[in-house]
Amino acid sequence: MATVYEPVIGLEVHGQLLIKTKMFCGCSASYGAPPNTHVCPVCLGLPGALPVPNAAAIECAVRAGLALGCTVRERSVFARKNYFYPDLAKGYQISQFDLPIDEHGSLDIELEDGTRKTIGITRIHLEEDAAKNLHGVGSGTDTLVDYNRAGVALIEIVGEPELRSAAEAEAYLRRLREVLMFLGVNDGNLEEGSFRCDANVSLRPVGQEKFGTRTELKNINSFRFVRKAIEYELGRQEAILSSGGRIVQETRTYSSAEDKTISLRSKEDAHDYRYFPDPDLPPLVVSAAQIAAIRATLPELPASKRARWQSELGLTAADAQVLSAHPALARFFEATAALVAGDAPTAEQRAAAGKRCANFLQAEVLRYVAFHGLEASLPVEASALAELLAVVEAGTISGKMAKDVFAEMVATGKRAQKIVAQRGLSQVSDTGVLEAAAREVLAQNAGQVERYRAGKTNVLGFFVGQVMKATKGAANPALVNDVLKRLLET
Ligand SMILES: [Zn+2]
């Protein structure tokens, strides 16, 4: 019988911290500046320059650790990871090795079919980024180095090899990204590489405990490609193992154009980084009181928001997922829903308000929303949207009119009540006016009235349509319905 193999996948994620300056110097950490303009003796690795740890970076690492259920070490150690490469001016990267700042955490993931699983997080450590080699510039064959990125603060989050499929790996990555974004420590931008992932992938015969030889997939820049790269790699390894071959430990990259992984370099001789504590940096001490103070500022995380919106507001899982896809959107939704609910006394009324907001946001507002990192351009303020929804709820305008009014609010920046007043949009809710229009319609359609009274009550829709037409669409349809029924049944 053919051997059945089980995938073993572990992810290492690098997240650039959302702070103004670099890990060990005061240079700007912003992206996109002209090459080599954000540099100083420290991040250029000039002799005698001394690193000073960035307090904001340390706080970010603690926040991430606490949110991911880690134990935060009160005393961690910066270590030198030694290797030679042109993008590493010092000849070593300052990282953390045997005593990282955070350890032993976990992340709950949920698959598309609803299966839940908890994946262990081995450790989170602080480190500095390398510079960036720019190939094929200058004469066209030169490689130049841009040191703006050198020394930018990162956290590396090392997950346990507990993922058993490409789908689990994607779910883990999505969940991790949203946690970091809601914490405000990372902007989640895969394309610009501020959130990037390496995957360690291997197979072992089902029932065997020992891991097989792994390959490392490097720098994959989208969720879809992570999944495809891992799927391809699992298939490639299975074909080799099934035909009696041996997996070579190596680093591979994913080519989206060819949908396959390609060998970059063999790993066999690249392992000795000769880590040792950095003599320029004393042990990093974070007190229990500091950790407690940071814990007190942790925001509600998206998984918790989704569960709460479903139980308190009756949102569907799909609605909750859409509205929690970005922290700015989640904030906007919650602010609008709170304004619309106002001081509604019952849980049902508050739920109905939340549901109305969720529906209108998804149907009308989302198409105008653009996300830029952790910021988002929302087309109107929460208070303006809440005002519009209140105008609809009061019956002044119909839900259909609300779409037009909203489009005008976005285009002109005017408030809903002003637009309704200026355009004379107020829905006719005066029963006297509606009754007069209804009587006229009934008088003109005696035949249909007889049919209705003979039991063909479905002609009611016809009468409603006629009254709407007579009032040029301004009538409140629910009231028209009531008035017509009353007139027809008396
Ligand atoms: Zn610098």
Ordered per-residue pLDDT tens for the chain, 490 residues: 678 999 999 999 999 999 999 999 999 999 889 999 999 999 999 999 999 999 999 999 999 999 999 999 999 999 999 988 889 999 999 999 999 999 999 999 998 888 999 999 999 999 999 999 988 887 788 889 999 999 999 999 999 999 999 999 999 999 999 999 999 999 998 888 899 999 999 999 999 999 999 999 988 888 989 999 999 999 999 999 999 999 999 999 998 888 889 888 776 555 688 999 999 999 999 999 999 999 999 999 999 999 999 999 989 999 999 999 999 999 999 999 999 888 888 888 888 889 999 999 999 999 999 888 788 889 999 999 999 998 888 878 888 888 989 999 999 999 998 888 887 776 666 777 788 888 999 999 989 898 998 888 888 889 988 888 887 777 777 888 888 988 888 7
pLDDT at 271 (0 to 100) = 65
In 281-429, DSSP assigns E strands to 284-285, 370-372, 375-377
Domain that holds residue 252: 5-292
Residues 473 and 410 reside in one and the same domain: no
> What's the 29 CA to ligand 1 centre distance in angstroms?
9
Residues 13 and 139 reside in one and the same domain: yes
> What's the 286 CA to ligand 1 centre distance in angstroms?
24
Asked, for residue 415, whether it belongs to a domain, the answer is yes
Residues 418 and 435 reside in one and the same domain: no
Percent helix, strand and coil across the chain, each rounded to 5? 40, 25, 35
Asked, for residue 297, whether it belongs to a domain, the answer is no
> What's the 406 CA to ligand 1 centre distance in angstroms?
48
> What's the 38 CA to ligand 1 centre distance in angstroms?
7
> What's the 192 CA to ligand 1 centre distance in angstroms?
21
Give the end of a domain, one of 261, 292, 323.
292
Asked, for residue 300, whether it belongs to a domain, the answer is no
**Who's near 422: CB < 8 A, 6+ residues apart?**
414
> What's the 376 CA to ligand 1 centre distance in angstroms?
30
CA distance linking residue 375 with residue 252, whole number of Å: 34
Give the end of a domain, one of 401, 422, 443.
422
> What's the 47 CA to ligand 1 centre distance in angstroms?
13
pLDDT at 474 (0 to 100) = 74
Q: Is the dihedral of CA 189, 122, 215, 205 positive or negative?
A: negative
> What's the 63 CA to ligand 1 centre distance in angstroms?
25
pLDDT at 28 (0 to 100) = 97
> What's the 18 CA to ligand 1 centre distance in angstroms?
16
Residues 412 and 476 reside in one and the same domain: no
> What's the 42 CA to ligand 1 centre distance in angstroms?
5
Task: Tell me the C-alpha to C-alpha distance, in Å, between residue 149 and each of 113, 130, 143, 409, 419.
Answer: 40, 6, 16, 42, 49
- In single-letter form, the type of residue at position 83 comes to Y
Residues 120 and 242 reside in one and the same domain: yes
> What's the 34 CA to ligand 1 centre distance in angstroms?
15
Residues 376 and 446 reside in one and the same domain: no
Residues 439 and 399 reside in one and the same domain: no
> What's the 40 CA to ligand 1 centre distance in angstroms?
4
Residues 286 and 336 reside in one and the same domain: no
> What's the 51 CA to ligand 1 centre distance in angstroms?
9
Residues 319 and 397 reside in one and the same domain: yes
> What's the 27 CA to ligand 1 centre distance in angstroms?
4
Q: Is the dihedral of CA 45, 51, 57, 58 positive or negative?
A: positive
CA distance linking residue 57 with residue 80, whole number of Å: 18
Question: Is-contact 183 298, C-beta < 8 A?
Answer: yes
Q: Is the dihedral of CA 62, 67, 72, 74 positive or negative?
A: positive
Asked, for residue 217, whether it belongs to a domain, the answer is yes
Quote the number of domains for the chain: 3
> What's the 108 CA to ligand 1 centre distance in angstroms?
37
> What's the 41 CA to ligand 1 centre distance in angstroms?
6
CA distance linking residue 340 with residue 264, whole number of Å: 56
Asked, for residue 299, whether it belongs to a domain, the answer is no
CA distance linking residue 67 with residue 299, whole number of Å: 9
CA distance linking residue 301 with residue 67, whole number of Å: 8
> What's the 128 CA to ligand 1 centre distance in angstroms?
11
> What's the 426 CA to ligand 1 centre distance in angstroms?
61
Asked, for residue 226, whether it belongs to a domain, the answer is yes
Residues 265 and 349 reside in one and the same domain: no
pLDDT at 1 (0 to 100) = 63
Residue 6, token pair as written in the block = 């089980």
> What's the 43 CA to ligand 1 centre distance in angstroms?
4
